[in-house]
């Protein structure tokens, strides 16, 4: 029997997810540029939009932009005066993302920050506190990103992390990335400043709400 989750996810995508031509082109762009094909799935983009609108987020930080597919989903959920700070380590990926922001018409709401998150995040803190922090970068740094997010979110703000399941790797860890994700999920669940849960859609989103 095929995994029933696939049928459910197809069902969710059919009901809740609509991609325009720009999003379809951007989803295909990593392959064209010899980049890893690890963007979020379209229905995970819908989930991010829903979470952003749920809390009326106006400021977002994305850690790990890749070709900007998730960035475009999130930027489009912002009001006109909203702002998304997108952090990307690879200058090659950042160049593709910049083109994609223009294609999707979100360049005015997105500020792309190129370089190491360890250098950029401490400086970016001056622009906070933020409403929403999305983590989708190197897994071994997730615990560090979590602490940065907790320190820089407003009360009621969300920290959201992609790949909470690591495609099963959290149950029987095979490598440092799997172990780091398990460490992250446990830190999120036990964090005294967060109310947390894992939403098991796609590769799962771990979500923490910043307590007062
Ligand atoms: C993989 C998937 C991701 O979404 C990610 O952020 C990193 C790696 C993967 O499948 O290898
Ligand atoms: Mg991911």
Task: Please confirm whether the linkage preceding 40 is cis (ω < 30° from 0).
Answer: no
Choice from 27, 30, 38, 88 to test ligand 1 binding pocket (greatest atom count within 8 A of CB): 38
Lining residues, ligand 1, CB within 6 Å = 38, 136, 162-163, 203
Looking at residue 1, its pLDDT comes to: 54
pLDDT at res. 4:
83
pLDDT at 168: 95
- Closest to 99 in 3D by CA, of 208, 185, 26, 24: 26
Q: What is the pLDDT of residue 3?
A: 74
The model carries a pTM of: 0.98
- Which tokens sit at 38? 């690890």
Report how far ligand 1's centroid is from the alpha carbon of 80 (Å). 31
Residues of the chain with pLDDT under 50: none
- Which ligand number lies closest to the CA of residue 48? 2
Q: Are 111 and 84 in contact (CB under 8 A)?
A: yes
State residue 2's pLDDT score. Answer: 66
What pLDDT score was predicted for residue 185? Answer: 98
């Amino acid at each position: 029997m095929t995994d029933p989750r696939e049928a459910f996810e197809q069902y969710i995508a059919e009901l809740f997810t609509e991609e325009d031509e720009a999003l379809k082109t951007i989803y295909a762009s990593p392959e064209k540029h010899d980049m890893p094909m690890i963007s979020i799935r379209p229905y995970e983009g819908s989930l991010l939009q829903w979470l952003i609108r749920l809390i009326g987020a106006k400021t977002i930080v994305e850690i790990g932009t890749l070709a900007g597919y998730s960035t475009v989903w999130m930027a489009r959920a912002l009001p006109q005066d909203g702002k998304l700070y997108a952090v990307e380590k690879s200058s090659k990926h950042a160049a593709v993302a910049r083109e994609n922001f223009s294609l999707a018409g979100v360049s005015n709401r997105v500020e792309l920050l190129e370089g190491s998150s360890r250098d950029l995040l401490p400086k970016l803190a001056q622009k906070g506190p933020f409403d929403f922090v999305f983590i989708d970068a190197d897994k071994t740094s997730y615990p560090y990103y979590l602490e940065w997010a907790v320190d820089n979110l407003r009360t009621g703000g969300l920290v959201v992390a992609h790949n909470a399941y690591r495609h099963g790797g959290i149950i029987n860890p095979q490598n440092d990335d799997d172990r780091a994700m398990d460490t992250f999920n446990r830190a999120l669940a036990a964090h005294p400043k967060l109310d947390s849960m894992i939403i098991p859609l796609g590769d799962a989103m771990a979500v923490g709400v910043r307590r007062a």
